Structure 1
Amino acid sequence: MRAAGVDLGAVRIGVAFAPADAPVAVPYEVLERSGGRARDHRALAAMVTEMGAEVVVIGLPISLDGSEGPAAAGVRAEAEEIAAALEVPVVLHDERFTTVSAERMLAQQGVRGPARRRVVDKVAATVILQSWLDGRD
């Protein structure tokens, strides 16, 4: 199943992709927030269509104790808006530690400063999507 992974951030939206023939997530794109959520959602929908994704997996920021706070409520609300803009299912997936994991991977590869900021969101989306793919087995 072709899938898109999404890391919703306040400034950027990270996007990852997993092709149907290889259940491995890869970084795809970073979408800079435009200041208009509807515009951002249309841009994301265009990416999803371009990828041919059959499902979109959005990271849900759950607290360490397993509860959902204001950030999770915000992502749930935006995920509903995104689902309305898409013709494929949208699922939420626990994203605890994804940005930390992404930062650690980039640091190990020697990616620093501005270069890291440009890619960390799509790497976080990749971690979210890979976790979802691994959990399907």
Structure 2
Amino acid sequence: MPVLDLTDLPAACPPGTAWLGLDLGEKTIGVAASDTSRMIASPLTLIRKTKFTDDAQALFRLMDERKVSALIVGLPLNMDGSEGPRAQSCRAFARNLDRIRPVNVAFQDERLSTSAVERFLIEDLDLNRKRRAGVIDRTAAAWILQGALDRLRP
């Protein structure tokens, strides 16, 4: 499947299927899942990066277990909206996934998602640095996925 515009994604996916949100970091992939009505995103898990094929297989296992029909990948744009090396790396990740197995993919602007989530974890949940490290990436993935779900809500 080619990368789709977010607004075209619902038509490409069977109704009643969940989506996964991904926050692609240098060492980890934060993963969040939507419910089957695509209303609510929840943090799911963290994939520690090793080799790309192993990472992809772990992601495909999650997709199969949850009957997921699409991935929403956070796109780390620069503050001026341009794409830098990290955004290009996210696009390459999606292309490489598609080479292994066709998958519906859309991108969601993730500017400031990690800092917003970190602020929430500190101010609202009062988590210390060690506890934040364990949840920040998957929570950022939920933030990204929820942003996409909210954009698509009428």
* TM-score bracket for this pair, using the shorter chain length: over 0.9
Equivalent residue for 1:15, pick from 19, 31, 52: 31
- Aligned residue in 2 for 1:66: 81
- Aligned residue in 2 for 1:27: 43
Q: C-alpha displacement at 1:12, in angstroms?
A: 0.8
Q: C-alpha displacement at 1:86, in angstroms?
A: 4.0
1:54 partner SS: strand
- Aligned residue in 2 for 1:104: 119
Q: C-alpha displacement at 1:73, in angstroms?
A: 0.8
- Aligned residue in 2 for 1:5: 21
Contact kept in structure 2, 1:30 and 1:122, CA below 8 Å: yes
Structural RMSD (CA): 1.3
1:6 partner SS: strand
Instruction: Give the letter for the 2:136 counterpart.
Output: V
Is residue 2:38 matched to residue 1:38? no
Is residue 2:136 matched to residue 1:114? no
Equivalent residue for 1:85, pick from 100, 118, 121: 100
Counterparts of 1:99 and 1:86 in 2: how far apart (Å)?
A: 29
TM-score (norm 2): 0.83
Note the residue ranges of structure 2 that are not aligned, 5 or more in a row.
1-16
**Change in CA separation of 1:123 and 1:86 when aligned onto 2, cut-off 3 Å:** farther
- Aligned residue in 2 for 1:124: 140
Contact kept in structure 2, 1:42 and 1:85, CA below 8 Å: no
Q: Which is higher, the Rg of structure 1 or of structure 2?
A: 2
Counterparts of 1:112 and 1:53 in 2: how far apart (Å)?
A: 33
Note the residue ranges of structure 1 that are not aligned, 5 or more in a row.
none
Contact kept in structure 2, 1:7 and 1:125, CA below 8 Å: yes
